[in-house]
Amino acid sequence: MAIELNRNNYESEVLKYYGAVLVDFWGPRCPVCLALMPVVEQIEKENAGRLKVAKVNSSENFMLCVQLKVMGFPTFILYRDGIENMRLTGQDITSGQIKAAVEKIFS
């Protein structure tokens, strides 16, 4: 199950983590965010043991989103060993783009 992130655990769970992390920034009033949740859950299942999946509820973590310059939703950030490798953002993100980004981080 995806880890719920906030400003208190973002650094330890993402920035200091050795390995790959997919962070899903979502909002409860974002229909695209809600529609992509099952996709993110499937990606987590398919990549168990090699990818950590985490979520940030933007309405509860506004300052964290500002700090990370996340201004649109949904936003997905892929990290490798604590370094941001890729960012996908906007209402037109597809499940295929997210899956391709995850595969790219391992290549």
Burial 36-54 (b: 16+ CB within 10 A, else e): beebbeebbeebeeebbbb
Phi-psi region of 103 (alpha: psi -120 to 50; beta: other; left: phi over 0): alpha
Q: Roughly what angle, to the nearest 10 degrees, separates helices 31-46 and 95-105?
A: 40
Helices within 1-107 (DSSP H only): 10, 31-46, 62-67, 95-105
**21 strand-pairing partners:** 52, 79
pLDDT for 1:
81
The domains of the chain, with CATH numbers, are 3-105 (3.40.30.10)
Rounded CA-CA distance 107/96 in Å is: 17
Cα-to-chain-centroid distance, residue 96: 15
**pLDDT-based confidence at residue 107 (cuts at 50, 70, 90):** confident
Question: What pLDDT, in 10s, does the model give residues 57-97?
Answer: 999 999 999 999 999 999 999 999 999 999 999 999 999 99
pTM (two decimals): 0.96
Give the tens place of pLDDT for each residue, 6-64: 999 999 999 999 999 999 999 999 999 999 999 999 999 999 999 999 999 999 999 99
